[in-house]
Structure 1
């Protein structure tokens, strides 16, 4: 049955089979992205010829117009999907922009690697062709900006790689569409320099990262890493701040170190693509092509002819293309040790002479004994406690010493030494400092103030009052003088107790923060309006609402289904910040269909106040809160 758009409400992301768009008939939907839907269509003038049609989700979408320009004029290459025509639908002037491309019958790079399990030689040859395509595109001023395995299709007929989806691509001279610090893109494929720029300039008006050819090549390196190991170098499911920190500071294990089948030369090429410093990576696609060809040419033939992964026979598995055997790959296990060099050993200040220094052990050794696994912030408190204990012992000793003098009349004609007439300096407590790369990005948690080296102040003898000055006595010291000695000693101990045993330190409220890139656009697409707060509940909670205990850090809440365009709600991922209230900032939304969007949502109490009220029983490291409240969309975090 032929469907005519004029007769019903148009939903460009949900066209049914048989819908006519221009001279093309929809066969099936291939996928929906943030800004367009892709369909497999048939040319009605040539039945049996199939193409891919991409339809913008909004009329007048500048992204779609720029992609048409790229494919039609700028990004013309044998390894780039070919452009065939464009138009508007359902109205030729005001409708949604669409354009038609080749329908590439093939698999994404990572799926091809796991389902076909090609040899390392074939993978390197495909990667080398992609590198040459990038060399040509970059030379023409084109930047793809969203290179990832699903955008590199390996054609079924000839194993040729084809670059697709230039939806957020850019070319020299194109008008900037967004005002974000960094261009839109996929978080776990961003380069270290773009992450570093984002961290340093996020929220600064006019700050704009200039995307470079090396950014595309870095993302290609991430894609090749995924192809030869079955894993991404940095897990995509990490919260954005942790993911950014890993990209900027951590070195992933080399592919050859856990997929032992990988030729070392290929592993080295991939690791150079992932180097933290831009100048240490390949600067052009031609350089990368030459490196891959050299690696294949001079390597051991038997290693390059091996398949990427080992096979294992599995009952009920999909037949392998070519031989029809029912088997699947054996994915290598991710190493348990990081390849990041250890931080320099921290030199601690000298400890108290009567506190035994722990024996030095190898940094890689596993901690044994009852304190194993105890966070360092719990182990830190022992030094101040020892200091307080020592002060108490000294105070009691001074009082006992004075009492003995009183009993024995030992002062006679000698001066009674003024207690604490000299400045007594307490050793600073031992500190353990986390290395910079272990600190989270978006949670500048302030550690409780440590007890610094404390000087017990005493007046210089010349400034003492007559009452405090030492005097000569013919017999016993007066009871009032000894009372003052004891009171001063106990006062010192009390002051130290107040310093070391004060109440819980309340962290400051989190500082203002801008929304993550693309959040406002994604919320608009989903129909989530600013200020339209909806009920949430913590995802792990079942049954009636009640009071729970939470800690600072990652959290997940489930939203209700009242947002327009999001009828069944979804899961929000973000962080809780403990301060005078519990502030929640959530930056990712996973809808029930499985797609994930950047968002900018904060938590409100049941009274619609920013932050959740801390209930009795809360302390510095945890908070008792109600399980429900409101999730409020905002344009920035206050």
Structure 2
């Protein structure tokens, strides 16, 4: 396979003088280049035409040329030219934007809610323009929007995953290209329901694009440090929606929180009907004169990396518990305000009081105190497997008849929802409000069945198996790793059911592993299960961690099926103590 060699500084391509490398993705490498005093971003496809190009990077670059040739908008990156490098790799010359990615802008400029809305009003307008021309971006995320330093204008970039009406299908897998964290939940639901249909392909819609925009806003409203690489709450579980933004950050204005919550709805019909409607709703909030919209989304001090708490001090022992109660109170308050049901409010208050007493008197391990609550999310037993590539067997019940599936270049038209905006905000009944609160309370109380304990059996999805074959993970290889990269390799650590951890391969692994998973390899999206059944070796229980993605050094992350299944050293209050330095297996078929 002929792949693109990295271009050295000083090289000339069609008169473009290569100055330095700007970025390196799965489909192309981007360089800063200059020609006749004008700078551009030179995006060079990784492969030549007909060169064993499994990801079809040449075809995607040609499609990106077609897409950008159809667009002319001040908030969409401009096309400046195209051609071929000396080795035969196709390139695009794109407008060079000297700016920050959205997450970098959030951390460095400390924007107000009004300033965040101003940015997304323009993003929504650009998307509405794009969709009116039958074009879908399909990879909207924080790093694919730049804020220009000179004037603060947002610019949507990277159309490598974009498509348009009647475009040829370039993807063999069931889902279109994109970034899993920003995929709409219905994509994972579709993949699960059609897992046995090898030719079934999900038809990407405007509703998917609106979900991605909602996920971007959610990250900016709730996370003071969005650039920091760490486990985060799942946003697109088909079963368990994330808490409203206002519950995670009480500074968020209520109307803005409600809009974002609707954009992240599990039901596509409950989201804004299209990006035109989204633009109008965002513009209405941007024009709001309230002082709460002029407030900073996060105080600058919150965006500094916090120091590890000193768990030896008695005052810190209960801080985590009351922090959980405050977060719970925010979510309960939002539910009660929306329900207007006095009886429901009284019932919720009684449950919260019970949890408060339980949390105060329940002993905690030091690790559970030190870990911030934002690192975990309450997830029902079926949600975590469904969200990861380690999908369990299909749910018992009738599988709906598959709808006709269009080619990858699907229509951008979506049917309007039955309820208008106001009805959407008011349709939640007190019964459904109670169902939202119960998992929250369960996740805080010890021994609740809402926290995943025993993992389900699974068959590794076809897409993950194909990715592992490309990594030459063809057997049931065993890899050494550090289970949770926040702790030392030789430490014994406490883990809670439902935790999300990142594993990492340490130095000193065997030569055979170093060829396949070298030191520095990261195993991402690890879901923790604690199985309190005595093992054959006499351990009090088992700890199972299912990792859903892997990122090898200097490579893109890909979906995999990798499981660590070890005996627990000790169990306490549903948590498990285990050795952090351990090993796991590549799994294609796994049974508990």
Q: TM-score, normalised by structure 2?
A: 0.62
Residue 275 of structure 1, CA deviation: 2.5
Mapping of residues 374-413 of structure 1, within 5 Å: none
Q: Does residue 212 in structure 1 map to residue 205 in structure 2? A: yes
Contact 1:575/1:586, CA 8 A, preserved across alignment: yes
Residue 51 of structure 1, CA deviation: 0.7
The 1:52/1:229 distance shift into structure 2, 3 A limit, reads: same
Contact 1:367/1:373, CA 8 A, preserved across alignment: no
Contact 1:528/1:564, CA 8 A, preserved across alignment: no
The 1:636/1:106 distance shift into structure 2, 3 A limit, reads: farther
- Distance in 2, matches of 1:63 and 1:113, equals 32
The 1:59/1:231 distance shift into structure 2, 3 A limit, reads: farther
1:42 to 24, 34, 40: 34
Mapping of residues 609-620 of structure 1, within 5 Å: none
Residue 19 of structure 1, CA deviation: 2.9
Q: Does residue 227 in structure 1 map to residue 220 in structure 2? A: yes
* Other-structure match for 1:328: none
Mapping of residues 511-590 of structure 1, within 5 Å: 511-515=457-461, 517=463, 520-521=466-467, 524=470, 527-531=471-475, 533=477, 535-539=479-483, 556=503, 558=505, 560=509, 562-564=513-515, 567-573=518-524, 574=526, 586-590=547-551
Greater RCO structure (CA 8 Å; 6+ sep)? 2
The 1:237/1:184 distance shift into structure 2, 3 A limit, reads: farther
Contact 1:193/1:248, CA 8 A, preserved across alignment: no
- Distance in 2, matches of 1:521 and 1:221, equals 29
What secondary structure is seen at the aligned counterpart in 2 of 1:339?
A: helix
Map Cα deviations across residues 257-277 of structure 1 (whole Å, 9 max, x no partner).
Answer: 7352x4444333323322332
Map Cα deviations across residues 222-258 of structure 1 (whole Å, 9 max, x no partner).
Answer: 212223343599x98559xx83774642242234873
1:102 to 85, 95, 98: 95
* Other-structure match for 2:142: 149
* Other-structure match for 1:70: 64
- Distance in 2, matches of 1:284 and 1:249, equals 24
Contact 1:225/1:231, CA 8 A, preserved across alignment: no
Contact 1:228/1:259, CA 8 A, preserved across alignment: no
* Other-structure match for 1:364: 352
1:441 to 381, 384, 389: 384
What secondary structure is seen at the aligned counterpart in 2 of 1:441?
A: helix
The 1:512/1:275 distance shift into structure 2, 3 A limit, reads: closer
- Distance in 1, matches of 2:124 and 2:494, equals 52
- Distance in 2, matches of 1:124 and 1:622, equals 43
* Other-structure match for 1:429: none
What secondary structure is seen at the aligned counterpart in 2 of 1:291?
A: helix
What secondary structure is seen at the aligned counterpart in 1 of 2:123?
A: helix
1:280 to 266, 270, 284: 270
Provide structure 1 residue ranges, at least 5 long, that are not aligned to the other structure: 1-8, 316-332, 343-359, 376-434, 447-506, 604-610
Larger % of helix: which? 2
The 1:138/1:563 distance shift into structure 2, 3 A limit, reads: farther
What secondary structure is seen at the aligned counterpart in 2 of 1:283?
A: coil
Contact 1:30/1:39, CA 8 A, preserved across alignment: yes
- Distance in 2, matches of 1:626 and 1:156, equals 43
Contact 1:516/1:599, CA 8 A, preserved across alignment: no
The 1:367/1:531 distance shift into structure 2, 3 A limit, reads: same
Residue 73 of structure 1, CA deviation: 4.2
Residue 220 of structure 1, CA deviation: 0.9
2:559 to 598, 605, 630: 598
Question: Paired residues, what number?
Answer: 455
Larger Rg: 1
The 1:121/1:144 distance shift into structure 2, 3 A limit, reads: same
* Other-structure match for 1:158: 151
Contact 1:25/1:42, CA 8 A, preserved across alignment: yes
Map Cα deviations across residues 172-209 of structure 1 (whole Å, 9 max, x no partner).
Answer: 22222223232232222222322332343345433322
Residue 441 of structure 1, CA deviation: 3.5
What secondary structure is seen at the aligned counterpart in 1 of 2:34?
A: strand
What secondary structure is seen at the aligned counterpart in 2 of 1:52?
A: strand
Q: Does residue 200 in structure 1 map to residue 193 in structure 2? A: yes
- Distance in 2, matches of 1:518 and 1:28, equals 34
2:234 to 238, 243, 246: 243
- Distance in 1, matches of 2:496 and 2:119, equals 48
The 1:17/1:139 distance shift into structure 2, 3 A limit, reads: same
Q: Does residue 53 in structure 1 map to residue 45 in structure 2? A: no
- Distance in 2, matches of 1:440 and 1:89, equals 47
- Distance in 1, matches of 2:272 and 2:225, equals 20
What secondary structure is seen at the aligned counterpart in 1 of 2:169?
A: coil
Q: TM-score, normalised by structure 1?
A: 0.58
- Distance in 2, matches of 1:542 and 1:302, equals 46
* Other-structure match for 1:454: none
Residue 286 of structure 1, CA deviation: 1.0
* Other-structure match for 2:19: 27
Map Cα deviations across residues 269-303 of structure 1 (whole Å, 9 max, x no partner).
Answer: 32332233211111211111111222333x22655
- Distance in 1, matches of 2:495 and 2:556, equals 27
What secondary structure is seen at the aligned counterpart in 1 of 2:208?
A: helix
- Distance in 2, matches of 1:192 and 1:218, equals 9
1:16 to 8, 11, 19: 8
Map Cα deviations across residues 420-472 of structure 1 (whole Å, 9 max, x no partner).
Answer: xxxxxxxxxxxxxxx984554329999xxxxxxxxxxxxxxxxxxxxxxxxxx
